[in-house]
Chains A and B, each alone.
Chain A
Amino acid sequence: GDSVTQTEGLVTLTEGLPVMLNCTYQSTYSPFLFWYVQHLNEAPKLLLKSFTDNKRPEHQGFHATLHKSSSSFHLQKSSAQLSDSALYYCALSEQGTGSKLSFGKGAKLTVSP
Chain B
Amino acid sequence: AQTIHQWPVAEIKAVGSPLSLGCTIKGKSSPNLYWYWQATGGTLQQLFYSITVGQVESVVQLNLSASRPKDDQFILSTEKLLLSHSGFYLCAWSLETGGSQNTLYFGAGTRLSVL
Contacts and interface: CB of A to CB of B under 8 A. Distances in A.
A49 B99 contact: no
A104 B98 CA distance: 19
Contacts of B104: 36, 44, 46, 101
16 contacts: A32-B99, A32-B100, A44-B90, A44-B104, A45-B106, A46-B104, A89-B43, A95-B99, A98-B99, A100-B46, A100-B59, A101-B94, A101-B102, A102-B46, A103-B43, A103-B46
Interface residues of A, number: 28
Nearest to A99: B49
A99 B34 CA distance: 8
Interface string B95-110: 0111111111111110
Interface of A: 30, 32, 34, 36, 42-46, 49-52, 89, 93-106
Given A44-B106, A98-B32, A98-B94, A89 B99 contact: no
A99 B51 contact: yes
Task: Say whether chain A's binding surface is mostly helix, strand, loop, or mixed.
Answer: loop
Contact of B43 (A42, A97, A106): A106
Interface string B73-115: 0000000000000000010001011111111111111000000
A106 B88 CA distance: 15
Given A49-B103, A98-B102, A101-B102, A43 B49 contact: no
Nearest to B50: A99
Nearest to A32: B100
B57 interface: yes
Contact of A98 (B43, B45, B98, B109): B98
